Structure 1
């Protein structure tokens, strides 16, 4: 049983190895949220064109390339598969990045692993999918979309920036498992339910950086 007198570590900004900083710090997460917000606006703008709520779409590099990509058979096929334009799906995903990036404390890697992993699932696959779609633009569609390239670059940056926090949370969960070999304890740690073993694992990780 969890000792009710056990104290949760109050040092929310402690550095976490193998890094010399705290991956859950606001200084790490706010830039992700800002960039995700920019991508949300860009993707929403392209979705408005795909929904024909606006007549044209801006592209300063490839002329009508963006419009041709958004109107391509690939985009139309994806629309039929998922029920909404692919740009709209991207906008929802980027908005999710921003919302999940803002949620939780600066020690959520330990106290809310489920939130960090959900954040990672939203951010990292999105970067991979965006890269694949950009490759399809040139190889299958035959045109390039400037705004799509911008959001793809943003996606890769977001995935790179989010990786450290996801890695630390997974390392923490692995340590809990190594200490307990208990699915119950691991489940508690994943959900953020305090336990003596989970708190001890978190303290050990933080102390390694001191």
Structure 2
């Protein structure tokens, strides 16, 4: 569209001008301004509902490159020199560094998967493709389940294509995943916090919209489910770095250092150790073990996740009807989400939420209509099993997390 074309012209001129300004010493603000323009380029095709797929792809690529070339590769301006000079990369009391590139590799890989899936959805919403692959789910109309979902009133409630918003979120996760060194838990706390917000709360919100699909819309979207699965699996892999960042800010403030200065500029931390590196030349098995440090799957949590998945399918298996069918689906999705997040040892106490969900499953058939005899009985048994499975902590690795060890219950 002409709006997108003129936007690209003026944005390109602004990027070139700011790039020249940022070459002068003391002009770090120009780098941040250029990064903001990169974010705008990612969003502009959605704001203007561009009908041209090439323009959308071009703006996405250039926007990501602008962000990378302004603050990712040359590093962010204003970082504390003492923090960068300190070589400590393992937090005090920890047995490993939570910020190595190997640790971030699963998050980056899953971000790429989620980005590609979300781009398919946004391409259909913007009219760039004529259909969406959907092997399983149908709809009350001539559209398949995926097409019906992304053109529903829930999706249209957003002022822009919500598939494109998902693609932007995944792109941010990819860029933030590769940003910074293995010391970033203390040299870039604000970025780790922002990364945690994108992966954590925003991830849970995106999963929530997947949860309500069969309840509010009446069908599923396969690509949406795959993208939500990628987002969910990211969360346990990201939590250890967030805990290390919080510990750093607490410890640093206790020794009299300004909180906000350390939050935005980073700092050194006495007591941190070195040695948190690992070569990508290691064997695939060694790389996988390193990337999964701090994440374990006890059989109790694995079975809890399976129960959650089973509950989401109970309507199709037992013929339950609303409102009990909706309750089982909602609780099943919450159980699955809670169990997977609790795979992270630093988040292991979160599993106790499944005790509450189990109690609701036990009493729900007595308060809600729509359940068959078999469906209601299985729901009660699933609730009792969930309560029993959520009480023990399960197997824990030999890793330690400093003062956070006391919370790994």
Unpaired runs of 5+ in structure 2?
1-80, 139-143, 275-399, 403-409
Aligned to 2:155: 75
How far is 1:9 from its partner? 2.6
Unpaired runs of 5+ in structure 1?
none
Contact 2:92 2:273 in 1 (8 A): yes
Q: Out of 118, 124, 130, which is 1:49 matched to?
A: 124
Aligned to 2:251: 175
Q: Out of 258, 263, 268, which is 1:190 matched to?
A: 263
SS in 1 for 2:157: helix
Aligned to 1:135: 211
Cα pair distance change 1:122/1:50, threshold 3 Å:
same
The answer to whether the aligner puts 1:100 opposite 2:176 as a matched pair is: yes
The answer to whether the aligner puts 1:33 opposite 2:108 as a matched pair is: yes
Mean CA deviation greater in 83-92 or 170-179:
170-179
What is the rounded CA distance, in whole Å, between the counterparts of 2:236 and 2:145 in structure 1? 28
Contact 2:111 2:171 in 1 (8 A): yes
Contact 2:88 2:273 in 1 (8 A): no
Cα pair distance change 1:18/1:147, threshold 3 Å:
farther
Q: Out of 146, 161, 164, which is 1:66 matched to?
A: 146
What is the rounded CA distance, in whole Å, between the counterparts of 2:104 and 2:136 in structure 1? 31
Query: Could you tell me the TM-score, scaled by structure 1's length?
Result: 0.83
What is the rounded CA distance, in whole Å, between the counterparts of 1:111 and 1:45 in structure 2? 36
How far is 1:92 from its partner? 0.2
Residues matched between the structures, number: 192
How far is 1:126 from its partner? 2.4
How far is 1:11 from its partner? 4.1
What is the rounded CA distance, in whole Å, between the counterparts of 2:92 and 2:227 in structure 1? 31
Name which structure has the greater RCO, CA cutoff 8 Å, separation 6+.
Answer: 1
The answer to whether the aligner puts 1:23 opposite 2:98 as a matched pair is: yes
Mean CA deviation greater in 97-106 or 52-61:
52-61
Aligned to 1:154: 230
Larger radius of gyration: 2
What is the rounded CA distance, in whole Å, between the counterparts of 1:89 and 1:6 in structure 2? 34
Cα pair distance change 1:133/1:19, threshold 3 Å:
farther
What is the rounded CA distance, in whole Å, between the counterparts of 2:98 and 2:272 in structure 1? 13
Query: Could you tell me the TM-score, scaled by structure 2's length?
Result: 0.44
How far is 1:142 from its partner? 0.5
Across the aligned residues of Structure 1 and Structure 2, the Cα RMSD in angstroms comes to 2.5
